[in-house]
Each structure stands twice: as C-alpha cells, then as structure tokens.
Amino acid sequence: SFPPIAAHRRALRGESSSYELQWGGRTFQSYVEPLRGLDRQIIGVVGIATDITDRKYAEEERERLVAALETQHARLNAIVESIPAGIVVAEAPGGRVAFSNSHVAEVLRQPLFDVPDVKASAQWTAHQPDGRRLTAEEYPLARGLRGETVRNAEYIYHRGDGTRGWIKGNAGASTEL
C-alpha cells in the first residue's frame, strides 16, 4: 500500500501512474512509466519526481485567502442587504454597475437593468423638483464617479410600475473599492 512501491508495481504491469509523497518535510509529485525494450517488452521502470512543496504551499495559501475573501464577501452582502435603502456600487471611471442590493428594485419598482456605463442612466426617467429632466450625467451615481460628494439630492423618479415618487440620492467616490 506504500504509494511508491504500488506505482512501481503498476508500471511493471504496463500502467503509468503518479503519486504524491511527503519526504523530509518536502512534497514530491512522482510519475512512473514502464520502461520498454526494443521488442516492446517491459524491462524496468523509469520515473521522475518533482519537488512541489512551494506550489502546494501556494495552493493552500490561495485556498485560505479565497475562503477568507468569501467570508468577507458574505459578511459585506449581509450588511448591505440589511440596510433599508437601495445601494448601487459602480466601477470608476466608466460607471458599470458592479453590485446593487435588493432594495434598489424595491425603490425603483423594477429590477435594475444592466448598466454598462454612465450613459445608460439615460434609460431612467427622473426630474428635478423644478420639472427639468435629469441627464445621465446629473444622476448622483454619475456625479459620484466624477469625484463629487452628493448628499440628499432629491428628484422625482418615474418608477417601473408607472408611479412617480421622490427619491433621495447620495453618492461618493472611493479609492478603497
């Protein structure tokens, strides 16, 4: 049952095989092949062992970091979903929406459509309190992407269910995201 002996026995029967072995604090990946003579008869075994200790360590570290990142991501999602407001995160500088919570659809009374850039915001219909329609560049999201901090911008939004409602928007840019 010792992997090197079992692999060599398989090779002597004509089967190629591989195994990992820990030896002297290092990890080795070994490949064993049957060695054939000119008449194609098995005359021995040939193998190669590669020290993969650093690769194994890197893979384990990567798995640990991915697990930690998934935990942080789940924690952030839980926090963002618990906030009773619509939250949209867009990538700078273009404005592609990377993330939104479920409250956005509740506020807009429609799902948030694919937003590849700031110009796509023109699909929304909203007006300033004086009745003037907002351009795509005037939405808080676009203003935040330009580096502006927007606080309590109010406008009338034409929601997906045909109703109109006041919406208050805030935005800001972050180099941390």
What's the whole-number mean pLDDT along residues 112-134? 89
pLDDT of 176 above 70: no
Q: What is the pLDDT of residue 5?
A: 94
Q: What is the pLDDT of residue 121?
A: 84
- 117-126 long-range contacts (CB < 8 A, ≥24 apart) are 118/94, 118/142, 118/145, 119/95, 120/95, 121/95, 124/157, 124/158, 125/157, 125/158, 126/155, 126/156, 126/157, 126/158, 126/167
Average per-residue pLDDT for the chain: 93
Q: How many helices (H) and strands (E) does the chain have?
A: 4, 8
Confidence at 113, pLDDT banded by 50, 70, 90: confident
120 and 136 in contact (C-beta within 8 Å)? yes
The 10s digit of each residue's pLDDT in 137-171 is 999 999 999 999 999 999 999 999 999 999 999 99
126 and 157 in contact (C-beta within 8 Å)? yes
The C-alpha R_g of the chain, in whole angstroms, comes to 30
Q: How far is CA 143 from the centre of its chain?
A: 26
Q: What is the pLDDT of residue 28?
A: 97
Within 10 angstroms of residue 100's Cβ, the number of other Cβ atoms is 18
pLDDT of 175 above 70: no
Confidence at 174, pLDDT banded by 50, 70, 90: confident
With the C-alpha atoms ordered 25, 56, 21, 37, is the resulting torsion angle positive or negative? negative
47 and 21 in contact (C-beta within 8 Å)? no
The 10s digit of each residue's pLDDT in 130-146 is 999 999 999 999 999 99
The 10s digit of each residue's pLDDT in 4-60 is 999 999 999 999 999 999 999 999 999 999 999 999 999 999 999 999 999 999 999
pLDDT of 100 above 60: yes
142 and 118 in contact (C-beta within 8 Å)? yes
- CA separation (Å) from 118 to 38, 68, 89, 139, 150? 70, 32, 12, 9, 16
Q: What is the pLDDT of residue 118?
A: 87
Distance CA 135, CA 144 (A): 14
What's the whole-number mean pLDDT along residues 92-110? 91
Q: Is 14 left (phi over 0), alpha (psi -120 to 50) or beta?
A: left
Q: Hey, is 33 helix, strand or coil?
A: strand
- Specify the amino acid at residue 113: F
